[in-house]
Structure 1
Amino acid sequence: MGLIMETTGHHTLKDLFSQLGLASEDAQIHEFLVTHFLYRHEKLSAASFWSDGQREFIESAILDDSDWCVAVDELDSLLRH
């Protein structure tokens, strides 16, 4: 299953979860955040819990400085608890 990148405006964390094919309701996002984490020097896109398509989307969002960057950065920060 491939991910289709949207290219319109500002995206929220909920939008990012939906784009990644993850459940995007507040409770489900919270559950994801308490059950997943990143090590201090681990890159978000290198985390073991992503599928290949999710990893590619995250890498592309960062490298292309796309309109997804803010949401991707927010997720990166939230996973460092």
Structure 2
Amino acid sequence: MTQTRPRMTHLFEQLGLNATESGIASFIETHQLAADIFISDAPFWTDAQRQFISEKLKSDGEWALVIDQLNESLHEESVK
């Protein structure tokens, strides 16, 4: 059985969000975080989404890499 490496589209699907390219771009653009807010503490997540993100980050597996990418994207404006 072949296992697919998680991608940003897969993460958005797991979170129940619009996983299209434009949906992902729109989410990132409209959900920018301040530098001191960690991705799992963002106020816009549901409890289930927050739990998924926290668990995957703690596991430090392939999902953590994708979540880290999203974290960086959500903090783009805070580093400008």
TM value normalised by structure 1: 0.85
- Pair 1:75–1:50, CA change in 2 (3 A): same
Which portions of structure 1, spanning 4 or more consecutive aligned residues, are displaced by more than 3 angstroms? none
How many residues end up aligned between the 2 structures?
Answer: 74
3-state secondary structure, aligned to 1:75: helix
RMSD: 1.0
Structure 1: any 5+ residue segments left out of the alignment? 1-7
Structure 2: any 5+ residue segments left out of the alignment? none
Q: Between Structure 1 and Structure 2, which shows a larger proportion of helix residues?
A: 2
Q: Alignment identity in percent?
A: 34
What is the CA distance between 1:41 and its match in structure 2?
1.4
Match of 1:39 among 34, 40, 53: 34
- Pair 1:49–1:56, CA change in 2 (3 A): same
3-state secondary structure, aligned to 1:39: coil
Identify the residue that residue 28 of structure 1 maps to in structure 2.
23
- Structure 1 Cα separation of the partners of residues 20 and 68 of structure 2: 19
TM value normalised by structure 2: 0.86
